[in-house]
A and B are shown apart, each in its own frame.
Chain A
Amino acid sequence: MLHFIAFEPGIEMTRLVDTSGMHRFIADLPALSARVAVLAAIWWVLTGGETSSWDWGVPAVLVAASLRPGLGSGGAWRLSLMGLLRFLPAFVWYNMRGALEVAILALDPRRHPDPVLIGYPLRLPPGPARVFMANLINLVPGTLSTRLTVRGIEIHVLTASVSVTRTLTILERRVADLFALQLAPGAVGDSQP
């Protein structure tokens, strides 16, 4: 809705007509069917194919499918298979390290958290990849995303003395690979692997 061009009423009218009522429903039908199929498959796996579970399953699938698809309202997105293959080992490695660090901090009575809020300028383009990155930040060592801002992301860091920038730069690159996107040129970590 934000993309309407206010000083060109012709375009605005066309878009309004295109996205209204029946038209929109019909245009959305293939995507809607795909969502119903995927969600029904998930339900089927989770319930082990139990017939009586569909009493709840059918309404749940239909309601979920009618909502806008995941990763915010940022429009279309696609994933790259090569990007996924590069992303998964990095994710598993950082998640293990993150869990281990927080476990040691929790269990060792001599250690204490020393948190700080920092801003991290994102180089990913606005949209689904940023939302994905914000979620990912919660699963890697020492970082918790608190707010997406216009320029980047606000992050709660568990131990102020440990630099998280390098990890975030590498992860951002992996997320860009995953979504088949280019990173904007920026000050941090252009030469990172």
Chain B
Amino acid sequence: MIMMAGTVLIVLGLLFFLSGTVGLLRFPDVFTRLHALSKADTLALGLVCAGLALHADDGALQLKLLLIWLLVIVSGATCSSLIARAALAHGIRPWQR
């Protein structure tokens, strides 16, 4: 039962990774693409890590998965802002309809 729940979380996570990647390809400029990656991929990785933690039978491994998720959240959020700021500083204007 727990294994099943873990697998469901992993599959959900993969769907969010997929949607983030579709956004990366489909959205028109660097800013909108950052939206897709920063939000969808954070949740996707959280779901995959949670799913894997349910499959793991070892507390150290579960702690490692949690830590990986936290580190990726922090670096992902920071990098998104840095890329957006650098794009504006280089004169790239946000795309508008």
Contact = CB atoms under 8 A, between A and B. Distances in A.
Mostly helix, strand, loop or mixed at chain A's interface?
mixed
A45 B39 contact: no
Interface of B: 15-16, 19-20, 22-23, 26-28, 31-32, 34-36, 38-40, 42-44, 46, 60-61, 63-64, 67-68, 71, 73-74, 76-78, 80-81, 84-85, 88, 94-97
25 contacts: A45-B60, A48-B64, A95-B43, A95-B46, A99-B20, A99-B40, A102-B39, A103-B15, A106-B19, A106-B22, A106-B36, A107-B19, A115-B94, A115-B95, A134-B81, A138-B38, A140-B39, A141-B39, A142-B35, A144-B31, A144-B35, A146-B81, A147-B85, A158-B32, A158-B35
A95 B16 contact: no
B43 to A, nearest CB: 4
Interface in A114-140: 114-117, 134-136, 138-140
A113 interface: yes
Interface in A45-101: 45-46, 48-49, 95-96, 98-99, 101
* Size class of the A contact interface (CB-based, 8 Å): 35 or more
A192 to B, nearest CB: 22
A138 B77 contact: yes
A29 interface: no
A144 B22 contact: no
Mostly helix, strand, loop or mixed at chain B's interface?
helix
Contacts of A115: 31-32, 94-96
B88 A99 contact: no
A111 B71 CA distance: 32
Nearest to A147: B85
A72 to B, nearest CB: 10
Given A102-B23, A144-B81, A95 B36 contact: no
A188 to B, nearest CB: 22
Contacts of B40: 99, 102-103, 106
